Amino acid sequence: MREIVFATFVVIFAGWAFAVAAQSAKTDARNEGKKNQRQVQPTPVPTPKVPKPAEDDTVAVPDDGEIIRVSTNLVSVPVRVMDKRGRFISGLQKEDFKVFEDGSEQELALFSSEHEPFTVALVLDMSYSTKFKIAEIQSAAIAFIDQLRPQDRVMVVSFDGDVHILCEATADRKEIYRAIKTTKIATGTSLYEAVDMVMNDQLRKIEGRKAIILFTDGVDTSSRRANDFGNLRDAMEMDALVYPIRYDTFADVQSMKNGPGIIKLPPITIPTSGDGSNPFPFPLPPIGTPGSQGTTLEEYKKAEEYLDQMALRTGGRVYPATTVGNLAEAYSRIASELREFYSIGYYPLVERLEGKRKSVRVKVDREGLVVKSREGFIRRKAKGMNPSL
């Protein structure tokens, strides 16, 4: 009996040992498989960290000559190259340009040819003026759009007492025409707020070449959240060209101001999508006394200087518009000039000192050519500086 019990125990023990050995073999096989799987998997390569652009650490200080205000380390400079007769020179390459900061040559890090498309902000002053009728303003603007290249994108902005984004940047010509045709005359002139919104809320987030076409008399009467100094400072920071088309309303305003308080104006014809045109009588609010905002000679001189500086400090140009004919001509010349810009950029080799003006000079390695570009920038002081500086 004891032999039978012992034999039975031996059999059971052997079966248990075999099961344990089998389970161990399976575990070893699984571990070996995982080990092999780990071996054949590629070692993950960490994504390199891209350094954040430097904090907005520069500001322009009014000074003689043109100035660039830089918000990152990259200094971007729009450049026009012409012969001595003023004719644009096309086909230049990166190797043809040299840029100097305070006399020291810099390495070019950015180059765009004249064939690169533009993003254009068409900004229209819709406060009342007897200089142009609404139909003339719309027709001239549409003719300007027709002269741009198909790949150029356009946003349409109008302003009166408020700012209206009528069309985001697009190459869809039908959408652009629709936006232009929705413009309408109203009261108030928030010029500074319109320019501020276009530069900081719209164009700043757009890459590539940019320009602002600003149709206005330059007089602001209703901005509260922006001013002329802020516009000029921000314009020098951006690499956008500004082309003001200035029409002078001073004589008209004086005539209105010296007349009755409320002036009855003739109907203004606004094109519609129907069979014809609808007369739209626009009542002008009281002009008031000779001290009223936006009517004095000093304010008009300030407006003219503001537009001149917006153009000068960005590399653009002011075009006067006194008739429908030279309004159309101004648009035509601007469209032509936008096809005549190169863009170059560099990272300064020497650390910029606070408050020190840096001169920038661009040269082309060819004889007999004229180069026009911005001429310098000034670094802003650290946080806590007087914002009026």
| pLDDT for the residue 169 | 97
User: How confident is the model at residue 202, as a pLDDT?
Assistant: 96
Mean pLDDT (whole number) for 271-295: 48
Query: Is a pLDDT exceeding 50 seen at residue 69?
Result: no
Domains of the chain: 75-109+346-378 (no CATH), 118-340 (3.40.50.410)
Average pLDDT of the chain?
77
- Averaged over 202-227, what is the pLDDT? 94
pLDDT 10s digits, 9-31: 444 555 555 554 555 555 555 55
Per-residue pLDDT at 266 exceeds 90 = no
- For residue 64, is pLDDT > 60? no
Contacts of 289 (CB under 8 A, 6+ apart): 257
Average pLDDT (30-36) is 51
Q: Over the range 194-227, which residues count as b (16 or more CB within 10 Å of their CB) and which as e? A: bbbbbbbebbeeeeebbbbbbbbbbbbbbbeebe
Q: Which of these, 313, 348, 314, 343, lies nearest to 100 by C-alpha position?
A: 348
pLDDT recorded at residue 26:
52
Distances (CA, A) of 19 to 8, 9, 12, 15: 17, 15, 11, 6
Query: Residue 386 above 50 pLDDT?
Result: no
Reported confidence tier of residue 138, pLDDT bands at 50, 70, 90: very high
Supply 163's token pair: 């700012």
DSSP summary character for residue 85: T
- Is residue 315 within 8 Å of residue 241, measured between CB atoms? yes
pLDDT at 40 over 50: no
Alpha helices in 41-133 (DSSP H): none
pLDDT at 166 over 90: yes
Which DSSP string corresponds to 223-265? -SS--HHHHHHHHHHS-EEEEEEE---HHHHHHHHTS-SS-PP
Residue 56 has pLDDT above 50, yes or no: no
Distance in angstroms (rounded) separating the CA atoms of residues 171 and 219: 31
Contact in structure between 378 and 233 (CB atoms under 8 Å): no
Residue 18, classed as helix, strand or coil, is helix
Q: Is the predicted pLDDT of residue 193 greater than 80, yes or no?
A: yes
Q: First CA to last CA across the chain, in angstroms?
A: 111
Question: For residue range 341-380, what is the model confidence (pLDDT) as tens digits?
Answer: 888 888 888 776 654 667 888 999 888 899 888 776 655 4
Look at residue 254 and tell me whether its pLDDT is greater than 90: no
CB contact burial 288-315 (16+ within 10 A = b; e otherwise): eeeeeebbbeebbeebbebbebbbbbbb
Given a cut of 50, whether residue 38 has pLDDT beyond it is no
Q: For residue 116, is pLDDT > 60?
A: yes
The reported pLDDT for the residue numbered 50 is 41
Using CA atoms, how far residue 253 sits from 156, 184, 258, 306, in Å, is: 27, 20, 9, 19
pLDDT of amino acid 290: 39
Q: Are 114 and 133 in contact (CB under 8 A)?
A: no
- C-alpha dihedral (202, 242, 60, 297), degrees to nearest 10: -110
Question: Which of 19-28, 260-269, 324-333 has maximum average pLDDT?
Answer: 324-333
Lowest mean pLDDT among 95-104, 249-258, 269-278: 269-278
Q: Collapsing DSSP states into helix, strand and coil, what is residue 221?
A: coil
pLDDT of 47 strictly over 60: no
